[in-house]
Amino acid sequence: MKIFVTGATGKVGSRLVPRLLQRGHQVTLLVRDAARVEELHRQGAECVDGDLLQPENYLNALRGNDAVVHLAAQFRGVDEQTTRTANIDGAVSLARAALDADVPRFVFASTNHVYGPGGHSRPSREEDELRPAFAYPQSKAEAEAALLALHREQGLGLRIVRFPFVYGERDPHIAEVLPYFSQWNPARRIHMAHHADISQALMLAAFTPGIDGRIYNVADDAPISVAEMLQLHQAESTPEALQQPYDPWDMIVDTSRIRDELHYRPIYPSFYTARDAGAL
As a dihedral over the C-alpha atoms of residue 153, residue 62, residue 139, residue 119, rounded to 10 degrees, the angle is 70
Q: Which amino acid does the sequence have at 173?
A: H
Q: H helices of the chain, where?
A: 13-22, 38-43, 59-62, 80-84, 90-100, 135-154, 173-181, 195-207, 226-232, 256-262, 271-276
Q: Which amino acid does the sequence have at 130?
A: L
Q: Which amino acid does the sequence have at 209?
A: P
List the one residue out of 167, 161, 160, 162 whose CA is nearest residue 224: 167
CA–centroid distance for 57 within its chain: 25
- C-alpha–C-alpha distance, residues 172 and 188, integer Å: 21
Helices 13-22, 195-207: inter-axial angle, 10-degree rounding: 60
- C-alpha–C-alpha distance, residues 185 and 176, integer Å: 18
How far the first Cα of the chain sits from its last, in Å, is 29
Contact in structure between 16 and 199 (CB atoms under 8 Å): yes
At 248, is the secondary structure helix, strand, or coil?
Answer: coil
Catalytic residue among 115, 136, 167, 264: 136
Instruction: Examine the residue annotation and report whether 136 is marked as an active-site residue of this protein.
Output: yes
List the one residue out of 178, 122, 188, 167 whose CA is nearest residue 270: 167
Helices 90-100, 135-154: inter-axial angle, 10-degree rounding: 20
Q: Which residues are catalytic?
A: 136
